[in-house]
Every structure is written in structure tokens, then in C-alpha cells.
Chains A and B, each alone.
Chain A
């Protein structure tokens, strides 16, 4: 029960932050990526603001256990594989096309009209198709 309440609380903070920061406004997100246009730096402030508590949290996690049990994630791997780069390029392209990434797509579901629902449905389909895509990538890599 503790884990569920903490998850609900974390999600509420995340959703509120996305809404208030302006990151559910696709014009601001595209404005940040559109460096040749009328550049909008807001996303950099959001990222900077988010990194501060998070960096502190990683520090606090050292030598401790999570409050609701379990263990902390393993130290990050330094493996830069094909999946990481290819997936990120596909993601970045879609992100720029609509100005939405998974967090804001969820946070704005209640006020993003049919467009937000359509994007979310397509994103959900993409996520369900991803395991198939990954299997083919791995097979192609094994044959190469």
C-alpha cells in the first residue's frame, strides 16, 4: 500500500510539474528544438529545475535502502549500443513532429482534446509493437 501511495504522490508531482512548467504546450517544446526559428529556452529551465532535486536524491540514496523496501537501481551501465542510439533518434524525430513526449502526453490527456488522445493511442500502439521491433533488431545484429 505504501508503494502505491508513494507512486501516486510521485506521479501527481510529475504531472503537476509538467502542466505548470509549460511542457504540455507543444509550441514551447518545438520552440526549444527549433533553434533556427524564434528559440524558446523554457525547456532548458525545466530540465535544470528537475535535475537539482534528482541529483540530490541520487546522493541521498547512497548507502541507504528505499523507504518502501526493495533496492535501488544498479549503477548505470556505460554501454552505448545500437538500440540506445537508434531508439533515441526515432523518439527525437517523433517528439519534434508533434511536440509531445510520453510524460506530457499523459499529463495533458484531460485537456488535450482529440489530438492528445490520438497521439496517445498511436504512442501506446508503438509501445506494444516495440518488443517485436527489438527482436528483429537483435536478430539483424546477430546475423551481421
Chain B
């Protein structure tokens, strides 16, 4: 749609605002994989309450908006269970091994010109571009 970029820009501003609040308020980098992963592997035990509150906001606000407006966006997510499991495992392991994902390395890292953040973002984007080039364009399997 022609208005997609406006929604993208506006939504992006909200994402960055969330990161700004988390940084200036709590002194922490807003990284989705780090906040969730630290809860799951026990490394974030001491900050479990604020991690849980953050995740409650991430899940709860879209839920609330959906309930109030009666509409949620289409996700077009695949129904291939094997692909979902493989993708989930790769995302889970990869983001924790690299210590960050699109929000931590991408949004928070690039915005302070972190070499690690920029490099990680380049690496996961290139890997993603290659994956789609091979599996979608070349082989037509996803």
C-alpha cells in the first residue's frame, strides 16, 4: 500500500521512543532478545521484575489495542511447522550467541555508531538476504 511507509516511519518512531525511555529511565539498552533471553537462562535474575514488566508491555499493549479496536494486522505467518521450529531455534540461539537482535544491535547499536551493532546488523541482514535469494528465488521452497 502507498501509506505503508508512513505507518512504518510512525511505528519506527514509537519503537525508538521506547528505546529512549528504557535508556534514559532505567539506563538499559532495549534489546528484545537480551531482555527475554536473560529471563529464560537465568542470567538476568537480578533484574527479572523490570524485564517481565517490559515484556508485559510488548505483548499486552498490542493485545489491548486489538481488543479495543477489534482489529489486528495480518501476519501472513507460514503454517509450515517444521520451518517455524527451525526458524525459532535459529533466532533463539543466534541472537543470544551474538548478544543482540534487530532492536539491541540494530536500533540501539547503530544509533550510537557501535561497530559491533553495525557489523551484527550487516551480518544478519546479509544472511537473511542470502536465505531468501536461495530458498525463495532459486529453489522456491519458502
Contacts and interface: CB of A to CB of B under 8 A. Distances in A.
Contacts of A116: 75, 77
A39 to B, nearest CB: 11
Contacts of B56: 8, 11
By CB atoms of chain A within 10 A, which of B11, B89, B110 has the most?
A: B11
Contacts of B29: 73
Nearest to B38: A127
Contact of A47 (B12, B41, B86): B12
Contacts of A103: 32, 58, 101-103
A142 to B, nearest CB: 16
A50 to B, nearest CB: 4
Given A14-B103, A15-B58, A84-B98, A37 B89 contact: no
Given A84-B119, A87-B97, A67 B25 contact: yes
Contact of A19 (B11, B36, B119): B11
B12 A50 contact: yes
A35 B134 CA distance: 11
Interface in A108-136: 108-113, 115-116, 118-131, 133-134
Classify chain B: how many residues form its interface, as a range. 35 or more
Given A30-B132, A66-B25, A86-B98, A49 B111 contact: no
Interface string A1-32: 01111111111111111111111111110100
A116 B86 CA distance: 13
Contact of B14 (A3, A17, A61): A17
A55 B111 contact: yes
A27 B108 CA distance: 24
B135 A97 contact: yes
Contacts of B77: 26, 98-100, 112-113, 115-116, 119
A88 B94 contact: yes
Contacts of A12: 18, 57-58, 60-61
A6 B43 CA distance: 21
14 contacts: A8-B56, A14-B15, A19-B62, A53-B20, A54-B107, A85-B98, A90-B127, A93-B94, A94-B87, A102-B33, A109-B63, A110-B63, A123-B89, A127-B40
Interface of B: 4-5, 7-30, 32-33, 36-37, 40-41, 43, 49-51, 53-63, 65-66, 72-79, 81, 83-99, 101-103, 105-112, 114-117, 119-121, 123-129, 131-133, 135-137, 142
Interface of A: 2-28, 30, 33-37, 40-58, 60-61, 65-73, 76-80, 83-103, 105-113, 115-116, 118-131, 133-134, 137
